[in-house]
Amino acid sequence: MTAYDPDNIFAKILRGEIPAYKVYEDDDALAFMDVMPQSDGHTLILPKVPSRNILDADPDVVAKVIKVVQKVAKAAVNAFGADGATVMQFNEAPAGQTVFHLHFHVVPRYLGVPLRPHTGKMADAALLSGHADKLKAALAT
Ligand code: AMP
Protein backbone atom coordinates (compact mmCIF):
# COMPACT_ATOMS: atom_id res chain seq x y z
CA MET A 1 0.00 0.00 0.00
CA THR A 2 1.11 3.59 -0.59
CA ALA A 3 2.87 5.16 2.39
CA TYR A 4 1.15 7.67 4.66
CA ASP A 5 1.68 11.23 3.39
CA PRO A 6 2.32 13.56 6.36
CA ASP A 7 1.30 16.54 4.20
CA ASN A 8 -2.30 15.43 3.73
CA ILE A 9 -4.86 18.08 4.71
CA PHE A 10 -6.01 16.33 7.91
CA ALA A 11 -2.40 15.94 9.10
CA LYS A 12 -2.07 19.71 8.61
CA ILE A 13 -5.25 20.29 10.65
CA LEU A 14 -3.92 17.98 13.40
CA ARG A 15 -0.66 20.00 13.51
CA GLY A 16 -2.64 23.25 13.65
CA GLU A 17 -1.21 24.44 10.33
CA ILE A 18 -4.64 25.04 8.82
CA PRO A 19 -7.90 25.89 10.59
CA ALA A 20 -10.89 23.64 11.16
CA TYR A 21 -14.32 23.98 12.81
CA LYS A 22 -13.29 21.77 15.75
CA VAL A 23 -15.98 20.30 18.00
CA TYR A 24 -14.14 17.73 20.14
CA GLU A 25 -10.58 16.79 21.03
CA ASP A 26 -8.99 14.33 23.44
CA ASP A 27 -5.58 12.65 23.66
CA ASP A 28 -6.41 10.23 20.86
CA ALA A 29 -8.91 11.87 18.52
CA LEU A 30 -10.10 15.11 16.92
CA ALA A 31 -13.53 15.89 15.47
CA PHE A 32 -14.45 18.82 13.21
CA MET A 33 -17.15 19.85 10.77
CA ASP A 34 -16.85 18.64 7.18
CA VAL A 35 -16.51 21.83 5.11
CA MET A 36 -18.60 20.32 2.31
CA PRO A 37 -21.40 18.85 4.42
CA GLN A 38 -23.69 16.26 2.87
CA SER A 39 -26.26 17.13 5.53
CA ASP A 40 -26.52 19.70 8.31
CA GLY A 41 -24.12 18.58 11.05
CA HIS A 42 -21.81 16.40 8.90
CA THR A 43 -18.77 15.80 11.12
CA LEU A 44 -15.42 14.03 10.67
CA ILE A 45 -13.66 12.11 13.43
CA LEU A 46 -10.03 11.09 13.15
CA PRO A 47 -7.38 9.47 15.30
CA LYS A 48 -4.30 11.57 16.00
CA VAL A 49 -1.98 8.64 15.24
CA PRO A 50 -1.25 8.60 11.50
CA SER A 51 -2.57 5.89 9.18
CA ARG A 52 -3.97 6.14 5.65
CA ASN A 53 -7.17 4.31 6.54
CA ILE A 54 -8.55 1.24 8.31
CA LEU A 55 -6.35 -1.08 6.23
CA ASP A 56 -3.09 0.05 7.84
CA ALA A 57 -4.37 1.33 11.22
CA ASP A 58 -3.45 -0.19 14.57
CA PRO A 59 -6.58 -1.97 15.92
CA ASP A 60 -6.18 -0.22 19.27
CA VAL A 61 -6.27 3.15 17.50
CA VAL A 62 -9.46 2.12 15.65
CA ALA A 63 -11.02 0.95 18.93
CA LYS A 64 -10.33 4.33 20.57
CA VAL A 65 -11.59 6.42 17.68
CA ILE A 66 -14.82 4.44 17.24
CA LYS A 67 -15.81 5.40 20.79
CA VAL A 68 -15.50 9.04 19.78
CA VAL A 69 -17.50 8.33 16.60
CA GLN A 70 -20.34 7.01 18.77
CA LYS A 71 -20.12 9.98 21.13
CA VAL A 72 -20.29 12.44 18.22
CA ALA A 73 -23.14 10.54 16.50
CA LYS A 74 -25.29 10.65 19.63
CA ALA A 75 -24.53 14.32 20.28
CA ALA A 76 -25.16 15.26 16.63
CA VAL A 77 -28.56 13.56 16.55
CA ASN A 78 -29.50 15.52 19.68
CA ALA A 79 -27.95 18.82 18.62
CA PHE A 80 -29.52 18.90 15.17
CA GLY A 81 -32.82 17.21 15.99
CA ALA A 82 -31.93 14.53 13.43
CA ASP A 83 -33.94 11.36 12.88
CA GLY A 84 -30.81 9.20 12.62
CA ALA A 85 -27.18 9.25 11.49
CA THR A 86 -25.16 7.58 8.76
CA VAL A 87 -21.60 6.59 9.73
CA MET A 88 -19.27 6.21 6.73
CA GLN A 89 -15.60 5.39 6.29
CA PHE A 90 -13.75 4.90 2.97
CA ASN A 91 -10.51 3.00 2.29
CA GLU A 92 -8.40 3.98 -0.76
CA ALA A 93 -9.48 5.93 -3.82
CA PRO A 94 -11.50 3.20 -5.57
CA ALA A 95 -13.63 3.01 -2.42
CA GLY A 96 -14.24 6.76 -2.41
CA GLN A 97 -11.45 8.00 -0.10
CA THR A 98 -10.10 11.43 -1.03
CA VAL A 99 -8.13 12.40 2.10
CA PHE A 100 -5.62 9.78 3.17
CA HIS A 101 -5.64 10.05 6.96
CA LEU A 102 -8.08 7.60 8.59
CA HIS A 103 -11.40 9.32 9.31
CA PHE A 104 -15.04 8.51 9.95
CA HIS A 105 -18.01 10.55 8.73
CA VAL A 106 -21.01 11.13 10.99
CA VAL A 107 -23.85 12.41 8.81
CA PRO A 108 -27.06 13.31 10.66
CA ARG A 109 -30.11 12.20 8.64
CA TYR A 110 -33.53 13.77 8.43
CA LEU A 111 -36.73 11.99 7.50
CA GLY A 112 -37.35 12.25 3.74
CA VAL A 113 -34.13 14.25 3.09
CA PRO A 114 -31.61 12.62 0.71
CA LEU A 115 -27.86 13.13 1.16
CA ARG A 116 -26.60 16.25 -0.61
CA PRO A 117 -24.13 15.41 -3.38
CA HIS A 118 -20.51 16.57 -3.02
CA THR A 119 -20.40 19.79 -5.02
CA GLY A 120 -16.74 20.54 -4.31
CA LYS A 121 -17.81 23.92 -2.88
CA MET A 122 -17.18 24.89 0.73
CA ALA A 123 -20.26 25.70 2.81
CA ASP A 124 -20.77 29.18 4.23
CA ALA A 125 -18.37 29.92 7.12
CA ALA A 126 -21.10 31.32 9.39
CA LEU A 127 -23.23 28.22 8.84
CA LEU A 128 -20.32 25.88 9.64
CA SER A 129 -19.31 27.77 12.77
CA GLY A 130 -22.95 27.86 13.94
CA HIS A 131 -23.18 24.10 13.47
CA ALA A 132 -19.86 23.59 15.29
CA ASP A 133 -21.13 25.67 18.25
CA LYS A 134 -24.35 23.62 18.44
CA LEU A 135 -22.47 20.34 18.37
CA LYS A 136 -19.83 21.50 20.88
CA ALA A 137 -22.61 22.45 23.28
CA ALA A 138 -24.25 19.02 22.90
CA LEU A 139 -20.89 17.27 23.38
CA ALA A 140 -20.27 19.24 26.58
CA THR A 141 -23.45 17.98 28.26
P1 AMP B 1 -13.32 10.94 2.13
O2 AMP B 1 -11.80 10.92 2.04
O3 AMP B 1 -13.99 10.70 0.79
O4 AMP B 1 -13.86 10.05 3.19
O5 AMP B 1 -13.79 12.39 2.50
C6 AMP B 1 -13.00 13.45 2.89
C7 AMP B 1 -13.93 14.53 3.39
O8 AMP B 1 -13.14 15.59 3.88
C9 AMP B 1 -14.89 15.10 2.38
O10 AMP B 1 -16.23 14.90 2.83
C11 AMP B 1 -14.53 16.57 2.30
O12 AMP B 1 -15.67 17.40 2.16
C13 AMP B 1 -13.84 16.79 3.62
N14 AMP B 1 -12.82 17.82 3.67
C15 AMP B 1 -11.85 18.07 2.75
N16 AMP B 1 -11.05 19.08 3.17
C17 AMP B 1 -11.52 19.46 4.38
C18 AMP B 1 -11.13 20.44 5.33
N19 AMP B 1 -10.09 21.26 5.13
N20 AMP B 1 -11.85 20.57 6.48
C21 AMP B 1 -12.92 19.76 6.71
N22 AMP B 1 -13.34 18.82 5.85
C23 AMP B 1 -12.65 18.66 4.71
Calpha distance 50→48 (Å, rounded)? 6
- Residue 36 in contact with ligand 1 by CB distance below 6 A: yes
Q: Is the pLDDT of residue 141 over 90?
A: no
Residue 120 lies inside a defined structural domain of this protein? yes
25-61 pLDDT, tens per residue?
999 999 999 999 999 999 999 999 999 999 999 999 9
CB 103 within 8 A of CB 10: yes
Nearest residue to 85 (alpha-carbon basis) of 96, 98, 94, 76: 76
Distance separating alpha carbons of residues 124 and 61, to the nearest angstrom: 33
Strand 29-33 and strand 43-47: pairing? antiparallel
pTM: 0.98
Domain-located, residue 1: no
Tell whether 31 is covered by a domain: yes
Report the domain count for the chain. Answer: 1
Q: Which residues constitute the domain of residue 111? A: 9-140
Please answer whether residues 78 and 138 qualify as being in contact, where contact means their C-beta atoms are separated by less than 8 angstroms.
yes
Query: Number of H helices and number of E strands within the chain?
Result: 3, 5
How far, in Å, CA of 39 to CA of 57, rounded?
A: 28
pLDDT, one tens digit per residue, over 59-80 is 999 999 999 999 999 999 999 9
- Model confidence at 1: pLDDT above 80: no
- pLDDT tens-digit series, residues 79-135: 999 999 999 999 999 999 999 999 999 999 999 999 998 878 899 999 999 999 999
Based on the residue annotation, tell me whether 103 is a catalytic residue of this protein: yes
CATH at residue 42 = 3.30.428.10
Which of 9, 69, 124 is the pocket-test mutation for ligand 1 (most atoms within 8 Å of CB)?
A: 9
Residue at 2 is within a domain: no
Task: Establish if 26 belongs to a structural domain.
Answer: yes
Identify whether 65 is part of a domain.
yes
Answer yes or no: is 3 within a domain.
no
In a domain, 4, yes or no: no
